[in-house]
Amino acid sequence: MSINNINLEYHRIDNGSISIVFLNGFRMPFKSWDKVYPELALENSVFLFNRRGVGRSKKATESQDGNTILSEMRSLFYNLRLRPPYILVAHSFGGLLANLYSRVYPDEVSGIVFVDSPYPSEVIEQKKNIPPFVVNAFNEGLKSMEKLFDKYKYSEDEQVEETIAQISAAGHFPNIPIAVVSGTKKMPFVPEEAFQVHKEFQAKLMDLSSHSIQYICHESGHFPQITEPDKVIMAIRNIVNEIKIS
């Protein structure tokens, strides 16, 4: 699909009045939802897409802060006549985008499922748990990779602090139904302190709305949609049902 000369890869199934939009994690393709969306598509409309530089989507040519990404998303939705409001199902970094989207365009979001997504201020807090030499080595490694793989230039992670600032500057989070799907297994190489901070912020996501529920995934780390898809499907269905009866 070409939007303003931008090629974005997407997959769409129209099978119901409720639209479920999946927002991938950082540099993750929409295939990461393969164990989740087919069952939901039996009774609902689902939409998946790859952001810049992922899959067959064209590489970025400008900084990818949250507002820039949202602008491209809405252009894509508009051109495809994907009518709001949407249930946003967001993994990891995608949760920051869902958080921002719901504040800037509250009438376009009917519910959110956060799948092991960070609370905005967690990203800043977690930097305290990473030794400076690790940060420097990681940044240098990214720069080297970008020289080899130009498609990752203008990466979303370069502007993550700007995206967080945009969330803070946006309006209040709407009082919509939300689900927080959280993995409880520590990923390899993640410091124990950082993991504990993440669990605390998962609980804090619940405070965004008075209509919130948390789903604990005991067999999952950072990718519940892959390791425990049934839990993610349950969370989405419960949001769908709540919206139907509201």
Which DSSP category does 189 fall into?
T
Which DSSP category does 172 fall into?
P
CA distance 144 to 175: 43
- By residue range, what is the domain housing residue 173? 2-245
Q: What pTM, to 2 d.p., does this model score? A: 0.88
CA distance 47 to 49: 7
CA distance 160 to 65: 7
Q: How many domains does the chain have?
A: 1
Q: Which residue has the tokens 């900084």?
A: 63
User: pLDDT tens track of the chain, all 246 residues?
Assistant: 555 555 899 999 999 899 999 999 998 999 999 999 999 999 999 999 999 889 888 887 787 999 999 999 999 999 999 999 999 999 999 999 999 999 999 999 999 999 999 999 998 888 776 654 334 443 444 445 444 445 556 677 778 899 999 999 998 999 999 999 999 999 887 888 888 999 999 999 999 999 999 999 999 999 999 999 999 999 999 999 999 998
Query: What's at 134, amino acid-wise?
Result: V
CATH code of residue 231: 3.40.50.1820
Q: Helices in 36-92 by DSSP H: which ranges?
A: 37-40, 66-79
Collapse the DSSP code of 130 into the 3-class scheme (helix H, G, I; strand E, B; otherwise coil) and give the result: coil
